[in-house]
Chain A
Amino acid sequence: MSFDLILFIFFALIAAISSVIMITRPSPVISALFLIINFFSIAGLYLTLNAQFISVVEVIVYAGAIMVLFLFVLMLLNAKDEAVLVAGKSKLKIFAVVIAALVFAQIAYIILWAKPSGGLSPNIEASIKAGTIENIGRELYTKYLLPFEAAGFLLLAATIGALVLAKRKFE
C-alpha cells in the first residue's frame, strides 16, 4: 500500500463521492459547492501526476473563476430549489441512470479489455520536467503558437458575446 496509492484513493474517493452528491441535491447552490469540492480533489489528482501548472490553473480558473460566475448567476436569478428532483417522472430517472451506466460500461470495457494504455509504466523524470510551467510555456509559444492565438480570439469573442447577450437594451 504505497503512499502514491493512498493519495490516489483519497483524492479519487472525494472526487467520485462529491460528483454523485452534486447531481442529487435539490438546491443548486449546494450542487455548486459540491462541484467546487470536486474540482479541488481533481487538482489534487493532478498534483499526484506531477502536473503542477495544470493543477494550479484548475484551482484558479475552474474553482476560482467559473464556479464564482455560476454562483453569481444563481444569486442573480434567485434560483429556487427543484421541487422534488424530477417530481413524478421516475421513468426519466431510471432511463437516465441506465444511459449513464451504459456509457460507463462502454468506456470501462474499452479501458480494461482493449487496453489503449497497454500497461504504461510511469515515466517519472520526464513527467516532472513536462509538468513545469517553463516547459508548458515553451510548448505554448513555439509548437502550439497558432492554437494559442486562436484561443485569444475565442476569449475575445466570448467576452463580447456575453456582454451583448446580457445587456438590457441597445441604445
Chain B
Amino acid sequence: MNNVPIEYYLILSAFMFAVGTAGVLIRRNAIVVFMCIELMLNSANLTLVAFSSYLGLAAGQVFVFFVMTVAAAEAAVGLAIIIAIFRNKSTVNIDEIHIFKW
C-alpha cells in the first residue's frame, strides 16, 4: 500500500463491474446471472474498502459489512424464488420463463 496508487484498485473494481455486467447480459442460466450480480457487488465492496483504507476511516468498511449482509439476504431470497419457479416450469433458462405476458 506504500506505492500502489488508489487508482489501481478503482480500475480493477471497474473492470470486475464491467465483466459482471457482460455476464448478466450474456448468460441464460438464472443462477449464473445471480453469481454475476454477486461479482458486481464485490467490485463495489473493493472500491469502498480501498477508499476507507486510504483515508484511514472505518466508515467504508462498516458499509461493506452491511453490503455483505444485504447480499447474503438477497442471495437467499433470490435462490428461493428460483426454486419456486423451477417447481412450476422445470427450467432455470431465462429464455423459457415467460411469466410476464405482454
Contact = CB atoms under 8 A, between A and B. Distances in A.
Interface of A: 2, 4-5, 8, 12, 15-16, 19-20, 22-23, 28, 31-32, 35, 38-39, 42, 45-46, 48-51, 53-54, 57-58, 61-62, 65-66, 69-70, 73-74, 76-77, 79, 82, 85-86, 92-93, 95-97, 99-101, 103-104, 107-108, 111-112, 117, 119-127, 129-131, 135-136, 139-140, 144, 147, 151, 154-155, 157-159, 161-163, 165-166, 168
Nearest to B13: A107
A35 to B, nearest CB: 5
Which of A79, A92, A129 has the most C-beta atoms of chain B within 10 angstroms of its own C-beta? A79
A21 to B, nearest CB: 10
11 contacts: A32-B35, A38-B42, A49-B1, A49-B50, A58-B42, A69-B76, A73-B31, A73-B83, A104-B14, A165-B81, A168-B87
Interface in B1-39: 1-12, 14-23, 25-29, 31-32, 34-36, 38-39
A167 to B, nearest CB: 9
A139 B59 CA distance: 8
Contacts of A49: 1, 9, 49-50, 53
